[in-house]
Homo-oligomer: A and B are copies of this chain.
Amino acid sequence: MDYTAIHLQKEALTPLYQQIANQIKLAVEQGDLQPGEKLPPIRKLANTLGVSPITVTQAYETLAEQGVAGGQVGRGTFILPPQKVSHALSYPLTPQLSSSYIAEEIMPYASTEEPREGWTANLRPRGRTPRAALLQQLFQQVTRGKPAHTLINFSSGNPDSSLFSLAHWQQIMAQAGVSLEQDSQRPAALTAFEYGSALGDYALRSFLTTYLPRFGLQITIDNLLLTSGTQQGLDLVARTFLAPGDSIFVEQFSYIAALDIFEQYGVHVQPVPQDEHGIQVEALERLLNAPQNRPRLLYTIPTGQSPTGTCMTVERRRRLAELATTYNLLLIEDDPFNELYYEQDTPPPAIWSFASDGRVIYLKSFSKTTFPAVRLGCIVAAPEVLAYLVEKKELVDRGTSLLVARAILAYISSPAYERNVEQIRDVYRQRRDVMLTALERELAPLGCHWSHPTGGFNLLLTLPAGLNEMEVVEEAVVHGALVAPGRFFTPAPTSERDHTLRLTFANKPPEQLEEAARRLALALHTLLQRGGHSTYPPRSFTTDV
- The residues of A with any CB-CB pair to B shorter than 8 Å are 34-38, 67, 70, 72-75, 78, 80-81, 83, 116, 118-120, 122-126, 129-130, 132-133, 158-159, 161-162, 164, 166-167, 169-174, 176-178, 180-181, 184, 190-196, 227-229, 231-232, 235, 240-241, 243-245, 257, 260-261, 264, 328, 330, 357-359, 367, 371-376, 382, 384-385, 388, 391, 394-404, 407
Partner of A73, one of B180, B231, B243: B243
The 8 A-B pairs of least Cβ separation, nearest first, read: A173-B177, A166-B184, A35-B36, A373-B402, A170-B177, A170-B181, A375-B401, A174-B174
Q: Which residue of B78, B120, B245 contacts A384 across the interface (Cβ within 8 Å)?
A: B120
**A133: which B residues are within 8 A, CB to CB?**
391, 394
Of A80, A169, A243, A260, the most chain B CB neighbours within 10 A belong to A169
What are 9 A-B pairs at a CB distance below 8 A?
Answer: A37-B81, A118-B357, A130-B394, A159-B194, A170-B174, A231-B397, A374-B403, A375-B398, A396-B396
In the complex where A81-B36, A158-B195, A161-B193 touch, is A401 in contact with B228 (Cβ < 8 A)? yes
Minimum CB–CB distance from A185 to chain B (whole Å) comes to: 9
Q: Is A123's CB under 8 angstroms from B375's CB?
A: no
Are B177 and A190 interface neighbours, CB within 8 A?
Answer: no
Give CA–CA (A64, B341) in the complex, Å: 53
In the bound assembly, the distance between CA atoms of A453 and B191 in angstroms comes to 26
**Complex-state Cα separation, A241 to B116, whole angstroms:** 16
Bound-complex Cα distance A283 to B116 (A):
33
Counting every copy of the chain, the complex holds 2
In Å, the complex CA distance between A169 and B403 comes to: 10
Residues on the B chain within 8 Å of A120, using CB = 358, 382, 384-385
Q: Which residues of B contact A403 (CB under 8 A)?
A: 173, 373-374, 401, 403-404, 407
CB of A228 within 8 A of CB of B164, answer: no
A143 → B minimal CB distance (Å) = 18
Whether the pair A235, B374 counts as a contact (CB closer than 8 A) is no
- Considering only CB atoms, which chain B residue lies closest to A79 in the complex? B36
Extra 5 A-B pairs, beta carbons < 8 Å, given A120-B385, A167-B184, A228-B228: A35-B36, A123-B388, A173-B403, A193-B373, A373-B402
Contact B174 A173 (CB under 8 A): yes
User: B395 to A264, Cβ gap below 8 A?
Assistant: yes
Complex contact B398–A401 (CB within 8 A) = no
Q: Which of B36, B166, B196, B396 contacts A36 (CB 8 A)?
A: B36
The residue of chain B having its C-beta at the shortest distance from the C-beta of A166 within the complex is B184
User: For A70, what are the chain B residues with a Cβ–Cβ distance below 8 Å?
Assistant: 70, 72
Are B192 and A373 in contact, with the CB atoms below 8 A?
yes
A229 to chain B, nearest CB (A): 6
Known: A130-B395, A401-B376. A166 touches B195 (CB 8 A): no
Q: Which partner residue on chain B sits nearest A384 by CB separation?
A: B120
A398 touches B229 (CB 8 A): yes
Chain B nearest CB from A397 CB (Å) reads 4
- Complex CA gap A396/B36 in Å reads 38
Query: How far is it, in angstroms, between the C-alpha of A177 and the C-alpha of B192 when the chains are bound?
Result: 21
CB of A375 within 8 A of CB of B396, answer: no
Option from B83, B260, B373, B376 in Cβ contact (under 8 Å) with A194: B373
Given A72-B70, A180-B173, A245-B73, are A235 and B164 neighbors across the interface (CB < 8 Å)? no
**Which of B34, B162, B400 contacts A375 (CB under 8 A)?**
B400
Residues from chain B with Cβ under 8 Å of A74 in the complex: 245
Q: Do the beta carbons of A395 and B235 come within 8 Å of each other?
A: yes
